[in-house]
Chain A
Amino acid sequence: MKFEPLTLTAYTTVSALGQGRAAMRDALLHERSGLRACDYTDLATWAGRVAGVEDVSLPQALQTYSCRNNQLAALALETDGYAQAVAAAQARYSAARIGLFLGTSTSGIGATEQAYFDREQNSNELPADFNYLGTHNVYSLADFTRAYLGLNGPAKVISTACSSSAKVFATASRYIRAGWCDAAVVGGVDSLCLTTMYGFASLELISSQPCRPWDIQRDGINVGEAAGFALLERNKDGVALLGYGESADAYHMSTPHPEGEGALLAMQKALSLAQLNTEQIDYINLHGTATPANDRSEDRAVMRLFDNKVAGSSIKGWTGHTLGAAGITEAIASIIAIEEGFLPASLNTQQIDPQLNMSIVQKTTAYPVQTVMSNSFGFGGSNCSLIFGRTSW
């Protein structure tokens, strides 16, 4: 059965590159990184922080959801006319026929972190006004977004670490094919918090410098935050999801398979569903976190499938690793690459590790990009590859 493409009829992105599609496009075209020396914690690292998140106020009726993660979500929903596009879609499909599938890794855990800091000395009691369900519970992001957009359809949060907001595209496609909804809001949000900063530091996976994917001196990630949303519809012209592939590593909780076994399987499945061969992929937006093991594993997987015949880059050197928001953020970067016709550079990659073999784009280059694969791989060995390209009906 031929996979039915789902067109992104509206989309928006907020990351360290700025607010909106144009901000991301301009930064990518002019090689302007969003990474800055980290001022969120005392860790000596760089981070992809979004300016002004803490100043966003949620609507009065939704105050119980107030936390950095949902503030970042609200910022994105009000960008690029996204909320208005969803309102217009509701008029076409009805609110109950639009699905809502969002990814996050840590949800609003920052609110729980703060509540633990605010405990009285020697007391186990968290502050009375701390709203755990509204802020930190895994579903909070979708609960908030559903109320914010006035949607009444099926909803869920996918939380599979750094593949979360890539996998939402696959779930949306299945729900639409099953007839459970006619269109879908997909996206993902993850925001800076102490848990991920000190957690990655405890695993010695944080770089003290701007991260350098595929570089011989790469030594870890920079944590970033981002929010992104897309509206998926059938039978529309534009850039569309052409296929997806999901797999598990079955190898280790925090280290990828050394031969990229799970990543390879996800890429193969995506190509198979899209009925495309490897020569038809113009560019791979790599997961490329800039840890020694991750890039080695992904390089191995790409080489096994594509040999050296496709160009790739990681945008982690622009945005940092936005974790549960990486899937949607990098999907949108891929779509911008198709719409604007360029290959984004792998920023900060100076001297390619001679043990890595795939072709890395080191300078943003004009190119008529037709079809892109976007990779997202996460802890627990959760892999997702998406393929985007133009479709016309």
Chain B
Amino acid sequence: MRVSVESVGLVAPGLNGWQAAMHVLRGDALLEHIALPAFKPELLPVNERRRTTSLIKLALMVIEDALAQSHYQMNELATVFASSEGDVEIVDRICTALTLPDHPVSPTHFHNSVHNAPAGYWAIAAGARHFSTSLAAGTDTFIAGLLEAASVSSLEQMPVLFVAYDYPLPPALAGRGYVDAVFATAMIIKPANSNDMNVFSLSLKSGTVEPPYLVAQLAELRKQNPAAAALPLLCVLAGKTTGTLAFPYHAGLSLHIEVE
């Protein structure tokens, strides 16, 4: 299956924005651990933004970064939202409320608790009625999301906005999940044409592989967030190089991506 990547977004500490992060991904600079500024996605009206969560805002921020270099209109895009944990900040608030007398769960928290809440906010902001899905696959959530996005784009012949994002768990649950650092990436994926740049040729194979090589700092970040499994692919895209990367996908499977 062949698809091409039209544009990329990235939000992580020291990698805030695709353009700004490229020199680190190319190896021209070291990753500096700079805390991210407060997320203020412009896709949301200010009063709406106040009622959403860090995870929802993170997803929308990285989408805005990818859209900045895309020629698509927002309402032309199908979407795949991939997050290994979903909104655990909301889980924490709801589970705390449930322990109180009369169980005062906030209605806003409740409708924000669905795994597809970021997708819902995006669709409303973009006026996008096309295909949208929200998924999880543990440590392999990035690969599972990429496969979903590529299959939709290729088989249904449409551009797909693919977002992989995870936010650290709140204190009560910290250390129990998959995520210890902020990381989000977005890719606008479309069916490959003959003169496209950044063409991915995907093949799923049996057999176990080690994750692709990364410099130590980035390898450390990869351990802290399933969305950061994207880093080797982002390094290839930033360096405008070609080659084949093999990613582990569950026990006993691997996804081979030839970047042309």
Contacts and interface: CB of A to CB of B under 8 A. Distances in A.
Contacts of B117: 253, 379-380
A153 B251 CA distance: 9
B133 A160 contact: yes
Q: Which 6 A-B pairs have the closest CB atoms?
A: A380-B120, A199-B110, A159-B115, A138-B136, A132-B176, A116-B95
B245 interface: no
Interface residues of B, number: 67
Contact of B115 (A112, A126, A160, A262): A160
Interface in B160-180: 171-173, 176-178
A250 B173 contact: no
B195 interface: no
B243 interface: no
Contact of B155 (A132, A137, A178, A382): A178
Contacts of B252: 96, 152
Interface of A: 96, 105, 109, 112-113, 115-117, 119, 124-126, 130, 132-133, 136-139, 142-143, 146, 152-161, 167, 171, 174-175, 177-180, 194-195, 198-203, 246-254, 261-262, 265, 378-382
A5 to B, nearest CB: 16
Given A116-B98, A138-B85, A202 B178 contact: no
Given A112-B173, A138-B84, A138-B85, 9 more contacts: A105-B114, A124-B172, A138-B83, A139-B84, A248-B128, A248-B129, A262-B129, A379-B116, A379-B117
Contact of A96 (B111, B141, B144, B253): B253
A167 B152 CA distance: 13
A248 B84 contact: no
Of the listed residues A130, A202, A261, the one surrounded by the most CB atoms of chain B closer than 10 A to its CB is: A202
A17 B202 CA distance: 44
A167 B133 contact: yes
Nearest to A95: B252
Contacts of B240: none
Given A137-B84, A138-B84, A248-B129, A156 B113 contact: no
Contacts of B251: 152
Interface stretch (B101-109, B184-192, B217-225): B101-109
B206 interface: yes
A159 B120 contact: no
B145 to A, nearest CB: 8
Contact of A202 (B84, B107, B123): B107
Contacts of A125: 172
5 contacts: A154-B204, A155-B144, A179-B204, A382-B119, A382-B134
Given A139-B84, A161-B116, A156 B98 contact: no
